[in-house]
Amino acid sequence: MWQEGIGCFLLAAAAKQTGLLEELVTTVMALADVTILGLSSPNPALVMRLILTLLFLPVAGLARTWDLRSYTGTMLAVVTGRERAYSHRYVEWFLARLAHAGAPEPLTKGVAKWTWKLWQTEQPSSEQPTPPAIFYIDGLSLAVYSDVLVPRGPVGKLGGKILGCRELVVLHDGRGHPRLSTTHRGDYHLTMGLPEMLRCYEQATDLPLLMQRVVVDREGMAAEFLAQLTLEGRQVVTLLKADQYEDEQSFQQVGDWQPWRYNRQGQVICEVAAARFALKRPDDALPPLEVEVALIRDWRKLLVVEGTGEASDVQDWQADLAPKPQRFWEEGWQALPAPPAPTTPKFIAVETSEARHASGRTGPNVL
């Protein structure tokens, strides 16, 4: 427990040093409808202490505001600069007033501005064009146990069970820095959360079309979804689902296989080749969406080829044997091992949509 407390103190120091607390207090102060108990107008120092209480409950070993009902320690008081910690009723009242004032959206934009200032060390220059940055967006479902019915969805950490949960949409940059995280209903799909995340972050930073290159997992593999982002001038990198193709013959314009990765003995373990793939759209009247694909053959994982070893006739089991080995009733006969089943390396298809601008030209390929 004391290790977590020390870690939270370090986070508190970092929050003050990087300007996170000032950004949150400024955002709350800008809400005209917020009045804290007994005050005619919000007090910045009071708002700061309440925000510190909410952010650093783990310092005192508390998991939620409900635990404040039985809390009698002094750790939170030390963090917030008070003689005693705030009560559960006072903190809940503060949260209720924020909710009624519509604080979630301004606070989300405030956090987005803070992460942009924190991690964006280099300012873009018009004289020296740089390639668009790459951003990663992923969805995460967390189970919620509540007496009240909440929207249900698959929870990956629990084997894909359908439970009441909340969906987190997380944004990272190319260096792995967390940029923004938003919470939604448990049945919220990533194809809805990704465009909303892009718009939210770009509006907060006042940089339209900031995220031109986006990487997402297989949940973002939807033709209409990719087509819409393509029309906006974005490139989306994701994985084709295994049921969308069979083998190399499912792709067009397959290039030569090039070595990509080697093991310690210098043997090729992965190969890559460029290709193209046509994604069929739900509306048959619309043309298929053409995407570029990087095909990967992983020789470390060999899969048995289905259907090649099945016999069409009962007598075919001895068709590949010479006449003498077939006489299994004779003395001294020995069974010969069956030939190994044919295998093929694991096949992975990484696709990228081409960014098309309003002029109709195609943007550079991300692969």
Query: What is the predicted pLDDT for the residue at 55?
Result: 85
> Is the pLDDT score of 3 beyond 70?
no
Give the pLDDT band (50/70/90) at residue 59.
confident
Rounded to whole angstroms, the Cα distance separating 363 from 367 reads 12
Residue 268 has pLDDT above 90, yes or no: yes
Q: Based on the domain organization, do 167 and 264 belong to the same domain?
A: no
Structural domain includes residue 73: yes
On whether both 300 and 259 belong to a single domain, the answer is yes
91 & 194 share domain:
no
Instruction: Tally Cβ neighbours within 10 Å of residue 229.
Output: 22
Question: Is residue 159 pLDDT above 80, yes or no?
Answer: no
Q: Are residues 202 and 228 in the same domain?
A: no
For residue 325, tell me if it sits in a domain: no
In a domain, 122, yes or no: no
pLDDT in tens, 300-329: 998 887 765 554 444 555 666 666 666 667
Q: Please state, in angstroms and rounded to a whole number, the distance separating the CA atoms of residues 281 and 292.
A: 16
Q: Does residue 142 share a domain with residue 106?
A: no
| Residue 158 belongs to a domain | yes
- Which of 14-23, 139-148, 174-183 has the highest average model confidence (pLDDT)? 174-183
- Looking at the structure, do residues 270 and 163 belong to the same domain, yes or no? no
Q: Are 351 and 357 in contact (CB under 8 A)?
A: no
- The amino acid at residue 111 is V
**Looking at residue 360, what is its pLDDT?**
46
Looking at the structure, tell me whether residues 344 and 261 fall in a common domain.
yes
SS (H, E, C) the chain: CHHHHHHHHHHHHHHHHHCHHHHHHHHHHCCCCCCCCCCCCCCHHHHHHHHHHHHCHHHHCCCCHHHHHHCCCCHHHHHHCCCCCCCHHHHHHHHHHHHHCCCHHHHHHHHHHHHHHHHCCCCCCCCCCCCCCEEEEEEEEEECCCCCCCCEEEEHHHCCEEEEEEEEEEEEECCCCEEEEEEEECCCCHHHHHHHHHHHHHHHHCCCCCCCEEECCHHHCCHHHHHHHHHCCCEEEEECCHHHCCCHHHCECCCCCEEEEECCCCCEEEEEEEEEEEECCCCCCCCCEEEEEEEEEEEEEEEECCCCCCCCCHHHHHCCCCCCCCCCCCCCCCCCCCCCCCEEEEEEEEEEECCECCCCCECCCCC
What is the pLDDT, as a whole number, of residue 92? Answer: 92
- Write the single-letter amino acid at 148: V
Residue ending a domain, among 186, 211, 236, is 211
Span of 109-113, 172-176, 182-186, 333-337 with lowest mean pLDDT: 333-337
Q: Which of 162, 191, 211 is the last residue of a domain?
A: 211
User: Among the three residues 211, 231, 253, which one is the final residue of a domain in this structure?
Assistant: 211
163, burial (CB in 10 Å: exposed 0-12, middle 13-18, buried 19+): middle
CA distances from residue 189 to 158, 196, 219, 281 in whole angstroms, order as listed: 18, 11, 8, 19
Q: Give, in order, the Cα–Cα distances in Å from 45 to each of 24, 26, 41, 363.
A: 12, 11, 12, 49
262 shares its domain with 294: yes
Domain assignment of residue 121, yes or no:
no
Cα atoms found within 13 Å of the Cα of residue 361, Cβ hemisphere only:
3
pLDDT of 46 > 90? The answer is: no
**Are residues 170 and 56 part of one domain?**
no
Question: Does residue 319 lie in a domain region?
Answer: no
* Same-domain pairing of 359 and 256: yes
Residue 124, domain member (yes or no): no
Cα 243 to Cα 144: distance, rounded to the nearest angstrom:
32
**Residue 342 shares a structural domain with residue 265:** yes
Q: What local confidence, expressed as pLDDT, does residue 366 receive?
A: 35
| pTM (two decimals) | 0.76
Kindly state whether residues 154 and 22 are assigned to the same domain: no
Show the domain range for 19.
Answer: 2-116
Question: Does residue 225 lie in a domain region?
Answer: yes
CA-to-CA dists, residue 254 to 236, 332, 355, angstroms: 20, 53, 21
Q: What is the mean pLDDT of the chain?
A: 81
Number of domains in the chain: 3
